[in-house]
C-alpha cells in the first residue's frame, strides 16, 4: 500500500507541477504586457510580504506531519484526534493574527514603495492577495497535514489541479479584457478559497476525527521546527523582500521571472521527494534503520544526478528562454546571465540539501537539526544585506548560495553522525561528481556557447538537444567517477519497474 500510494502521489504531483509551471509562466507575462513590470513586481512583492505570517506557525507544519506519521504507524487514534484538534485550534488563532498583520501591511507597505503605485490600489491588491492564505488557515491546513501523513496527497493535488485550471482560465480572460488587476487577483483568491473548503470536506469524509479537548502541548518538539521554518522562509522570501526595500519594483519583476522558472523546476523535483518522505518516515518509525539507509542511498544517488541534469540544462537555456519570453518588453532589463547562473546554482544546492533533510524531517528530528537551520538563516540574511547595495539582485543570490552550501554540509554530517550512519565518502563523492559537472557545463556555456532562439519553437528544439547532451555528459561522469552507487541505483529502479509491470 505504501508503494501504491507513493506512485499515485507522484503522478498527481507531477501533473500539478506541470500545470503550475504553465500557470506561473503565462499569468505573470500577461500581467507584465497588460499592466507593466511594476505591477508584476508589486504582486510578487506583496505575496512574499504576506507570507511573513508563516513565521507565526513556528515550523509546526512539518512537526505535526511527523507526529501524525508516528501516530498512524502505531494506529494510535487517540493521539491522532488530539493532534488534529490542537492544530486546528492553533491555525485558527494564526488566522486572527494574520488579519491583524494584513491591516498593518496595508498601513506600511504603501510607504515602502512610495511613488511607484497609488496607495488605494496597493491596499486593495493586498486585501485581494490576502484571502488565499486566510482561507488556508481557516479551512484546510490541518486537513492537508492529516491527508498527507496518511500518504494520500494525491487527493489534495487533484483539488489544486482543478484550482489552477479554473483560476488560470478566468484570470487570462479578465487580463485580456484589461479588467482591473485588483479584480483579477480577487478572482484567483476566491477560487483558492473554494479549493481550501473542498480539501476540508475531503478530509471530513475520508479521514474522520473525533472532537476532543486538547492543546498544542500534545505535540512533541512543537517549537523545535522554528529554526527550520525560518530557514525555509528566508530561502523562499527574503530575496524579494530585500529587493523591494533596497531596489525598485521593476527589479522585483526581473527577479520574479527567474524565480518562477527555478520554482517550476524545484516543484517538479520536490514531487519525487514528497512521494517518498512519508514512506521513509514509516520505516524510521518502525526502527528499520538499515532498510531506510539502503533505500535512501538508492534514491538519493539518482535524485542528486537528476537535479543536476535539470539545473545544468536550465543554466544553458535560461537566457535564451528569457529573451523569447520578454521579447518586446522594454520597461526593465530581464537579461541577466551572471545572476541566472548564481541563482540556479543556489536552487540546485537547495535541492541537494532537501534530499538530505527529508529523513530527519520525516522522523520528527527538528530539534536536533535546528542549529544548522539557525546558522543558515543568519548567513543568508547577513551576506544578502551586505551585498545588495553594491551588487543588487546578484548580491542576494550570493547570500543564498553560500548559506545553502553550509546547510548541505551540515545535513551530510548529521546523517553520518546521528541517524543512518551514511558515510562521508558516499555523500561527497556523489555530490562533488555532479556539482563539478554542472560547473563545467555552466562555464563552457558562458564563455563558448551562445544559443540564439527567435521563437518558442526554436527554443524547444534547442532544449531537446541540450537535455540529451547534458544527460549523456552526466551519465558518463557518474559511470566513471561514481560507478558503484550509480549502477546499484539503476539496478534497483529497473527491478522495481519490472516488478510493477508484471
pLDDT at res. 409: 92
Residue 182 and residue 250 in one domain: no
Exposed/middle/buried for 497, CB within 10 Å: 0-12, 13-18, 19+?
A: exposed
pLDDT at 272 over 90: no
CB 261 within 8 A of CB 390: no
Residue 381 has pLDDT above 90, yes or no: no
Q: Are residues 364 and 311 in the same domain?
A: yes
Examine the pLDDT at 289 and tell me if it is beyond 80. Answer: no
* Grid cell of 255 as nine digits: 527577479
| Average pLDDT for 103-122 | 84
Highest mean pLDDT among 152-156, 222-226, 496-500: 152-156
- DSSP state at residue 56: G
Say whether pLDDT at 179 is over 70.
yes
Q: Which residues contact 292 (CB under 8 A, 6 or more apart)?
A: 280, 283, 284, 359, 420
d(CA 366, CA 82): 20
Residue 491 has pLDDT above 80, yes or no: yes
By residue range, what is the domain housing residue 176?
Answer: 1-222
- Give the cell for residue 32: 507584465
Q: Which residues contact 124 (CB under 8 A, 6 or more apart)?
A: 182
Which among 222, 253, 287 is the end of a domain? Answer: 222
Q: State the SS3 of 375-425.
A: HHHHHHHHHHHHHHHHHCHHHHHHHHHHHHHHHHHHHHHHHHHHHCCCCHH
Summarize the confidence of residues 178-204 as an average pLDDT: 90
- The grid coordinates listed for 12 are 498527481
* Same structural domain, 204 and 271: no
252 and 209 in a common domain: no
CB 397 within 8 A of CB 339: yes
Same-domain status, 196 and 237: no
Region 193-220 average pLDDT = 76
**What is the 3-state secondary structure of 1-17?**
CHHHHHHHHHHHHHHHH
Query: How far is Cα 306 from Cα 304, in angstroms, rounded to an integer?
Result: 6
pLDDT at 187: 92
Cell numbers of 316, please?
544553458
Pick the more confident residue, 259 or 55: 259
**The pLDDT of residue 433:** 95
261, 459 Cβ separation under 8 angstroms: no
Do 166 and 269 belong together in one domain?
no
- H or E element at residue 65: helix 60-73
Report residue 225's pLDDT band, with 50, 70 and 90 as the boundaries.
low
Q: Give the dihedral of Cα atoms 20, 23, 24, 28; nearest 10 deg.
A: -170
Weakest mean pLDDT among 184-193, 269-278, 319-328, 410-419: 269-278
Pairwise pLDDT comparison (135 vs 235), residue with the higher score: 135
- Left, alpha or beta for 423 (phi > 0: left; psi -120 to 50: alpha)? beta
Whole-angstrom CA distances from 188 to 13, 131, 181 are 21, 9, 11
pLDDT of residue 473: 96
Does residue 471 register a pLDDT over 90? yes
> Average pLDDT in the 20-31 region?
88
Question: Residues with Cβ < 8 Å from 443, sequence gap 6 or more?
Answer: none
Residue 501's pLDDT is what? 46
pLDDT value for 224: 57
Is the pLDDT score of 86 beyond 70?
A: yes
Residue 152 DSSP one-character state: -
Q: Give pLDDT, residue 389.
A: 86
Residues 250 and 165 in one domain: no
pLDDT for position 85:
83
The mean pLDDT of 206-222, rounded to a whole number, is 65
Higher-confidence residue: 35 or 5?
35
> In whole angstroms, what is the distance from residue 429 CA to residue 194 CA?
48
Other beta carbons within 10 angstroms of residue 388's beta carbon come to 22
Same domain, 95 and 173: yes
> How confident is the prediction for the chain on average, in pLDDT?
83
Look at residue 50 in the predicted model and tell me its pLDDT.
Answer: 82
Q: In Å, what is the CA distance from 190 to each residue of 3, 21, 203?
A: 35, 21, 20
Report the pLDDT value the prediction gives residue 439, as an integer from 0 to 100: 95
- Concatenate the DSSP letters of all residues of 417-485 into one string: IIIS---HHHHHHHHHHHHHHHHHHHHHHHHH-----SSHHHHHHHHHHHHHHHHHHHHHHHHHHSHHH
Average pLDDT value for residue range 392-398: 88
Query: What pLDDT score was predicted for residue 375?
Result: 86
Give me the mean pLDDT over the 267-279 stretch: 72
> Taking a C-beta distance cutoff of 8 angstroms, is the pair 369, 228 a contact?
yes
- 491 shares a domain with 455: yes
Q: What's the pLDDT at 352? A: 92
Whether residue 464 is predicted with pLDDT greater than 50 in this model: the reply is: yes
pLDDT at 214: 64
Model pLDDT, residue 208: 72
- 233 and 206 in one domain? no
Q: How far is CA 403 from the centre of its chain?
A: 17
- Choosing from 197, 222, 247, the residue where a domain stops is 222
Whether residue 29 is found in the same domain as residue 4: yes
Q: Is the pLDDT of residue 222 over 60?
A: no
Total of domains in the chain: 2
pLDDT score of 438: 96
Contact 55, 196 (CB under 8 A): no
Q: Across residues 326-350, what is the average pLDDT?
A: 89
Task: Return left, alpha or beta for 178; rule: phi > 0 is left, psi -120 to 50 is alpha, else beta.
Answer: left
Using the predicted structure, report yes or no on whether residue 263 has a pLDDT greater than 70: yes
Q: Which of 159, 188, 222 is the last residue of a domain?
A: 222
pLDDT (average), residues 271-290: 70
Residues 229 and 164 in one domain: no
- The mean per-residue pLDDT over the stretch 227-256 comes to 77
Residue (of 227, 229, 218, 278) closest to 89 by Cα position = 218
Sign of CA dihedral 374, 376, 378, 381: negative
Amino acid at each position: 500500500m505504501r508503494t501504491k500510494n507513493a506512485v499515485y502521489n507522484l503522478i498527481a504531483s507531477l501533473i500539478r507541477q506541470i500545470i503550475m509551471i504553465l500557470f506561473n509562466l503565462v499569468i505573470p507575462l500577461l500581467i507584465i504586457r497588460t499592466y507593466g513590470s511594476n505591477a508584476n513586481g508589486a504582486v510578487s512583492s506583496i505575496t512574499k510580504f504576506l507570507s511573513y505570517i508563516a513565521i507565526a506557525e513556528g515550523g509546526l507544519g512539518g512537526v505535526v506531519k511527523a507526529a501524525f506519521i508516528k501516530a498512524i504507524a502505531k494506529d494510535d487514534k487517540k493521539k491522532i484526534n488530539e493532534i488534529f484538534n490542537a492544530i486546528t485550534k492553533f491555525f485558527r488563532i494564526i488566522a486572527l493574527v494574520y488579519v491583524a498583520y494584513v491591516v498593518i501591511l496595508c498601513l506600511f507597505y504603501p510607504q515602502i514603495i512610495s511613488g511607484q503605485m497609488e496607495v488605494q490600489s496597493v491596499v486593495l491588491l493586498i486585501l485581494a492577495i490576502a484571502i488565499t492564505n486566510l482561507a488556508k488557515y481557516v479551512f484546510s491546513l490541518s486537513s492537508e497535514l492529516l491527508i498527507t501523513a496518511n500518504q494520500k496527497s494525491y487527493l489534495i493535488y487533484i483539488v489544486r489541479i482543478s484550482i489552477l485550471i479554473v483560476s488560470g482560465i478566468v484570470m487570462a480572460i479578465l487580463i485580456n479584457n484589461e479588467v482591473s488587476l485588483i479584480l483579477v487577483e480577487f478572482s484567483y483568491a476566491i477560487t483558492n478559497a473554494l479549493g481550501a473548503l473542498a480539501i476540508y470536506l475531503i478530509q471530513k469524509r475520508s479521514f474522520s476525527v473525533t472532537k476532543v479537548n486538547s492543546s498544542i502541548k500534545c505535540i512533541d518538539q512543537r517549537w523545535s521546527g522554528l529554526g527550520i521554518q525560518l530557514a525555509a522562509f528566508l530561502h523562499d522570501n527574503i530575496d524579494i523582500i530585500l529587493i523591494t526595500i533596497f531596489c525598485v519594483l521593476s527589479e522585483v519583476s526581473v527577479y520574479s521571472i527567474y524565480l518562477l522558472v527555478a520554482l517550476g523546476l524545484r516543484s517538479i523535483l520536490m514531487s519525487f521527494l514528497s512521494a517518498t518522505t512519508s514512506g521513509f518516515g514509516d520505516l524510521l518509525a518502525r526502527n528499520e534503520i538499515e532498510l531506510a539507509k539502503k533505500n535512501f542511498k538508492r534514491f538519493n544517488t539518482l535524485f542528486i544526478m537528476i537535479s543536476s541534469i535539470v539545473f545544468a540544462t536550465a543554466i544553458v537555456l535560461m537566457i535564451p528562454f528569457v529573451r523569447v519570453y520578454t521579447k518586446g518588453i522594454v520597461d526593465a532589463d530581464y537579461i541577466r546571465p551572471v545572476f541566472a547562473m548564481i541563482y540556479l546554482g543556489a536552487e540546485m544546492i537547495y535541492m541537494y540539501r532537501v534530499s538530505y533533510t527529508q529523513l530527519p524531517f520525516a522522523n520528527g528530528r527538528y530539534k536536533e537539526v535546528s542549529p544548522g537551520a539557525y546558522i543558515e538563516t543568519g548567513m543568508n540574511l547577513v551576506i544578502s544585506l551586505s551585498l545588495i547595495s553594491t551588487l543588487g539582485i546578484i548580491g542576494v543570490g550570493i547570500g543564498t548560495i553560500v548559506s545553502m552550501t553550509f546547510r548541505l554540509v551540515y545535513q551530510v554530517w548529521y546523517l553520518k553522525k546521528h541517524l543512518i550512519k551514511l558515510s562521508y565518502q558516499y555523500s561527497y563523492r556523489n555530490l562533488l561528481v555532479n556539482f563539478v559537472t554542472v560547473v563545467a557545463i555552466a562555464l563552457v556555456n558562458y564563455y563558448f556557447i551562445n544559443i540564439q532562439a527567435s521563437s518558442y519553437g526554436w527554443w524547444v528544439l534547442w532544449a531537446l538537444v541540450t537535455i540529451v547532451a547534458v544527460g549523456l555528459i552526466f551519465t558518463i561522469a557518474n559511470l566513471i567517477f561514481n560507478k558503484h552507487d550509480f549502477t546499484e541505483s539503476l539496478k534497483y529502479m529497473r527491478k522495481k519497474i519490472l516488478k510493477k509491470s508484471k
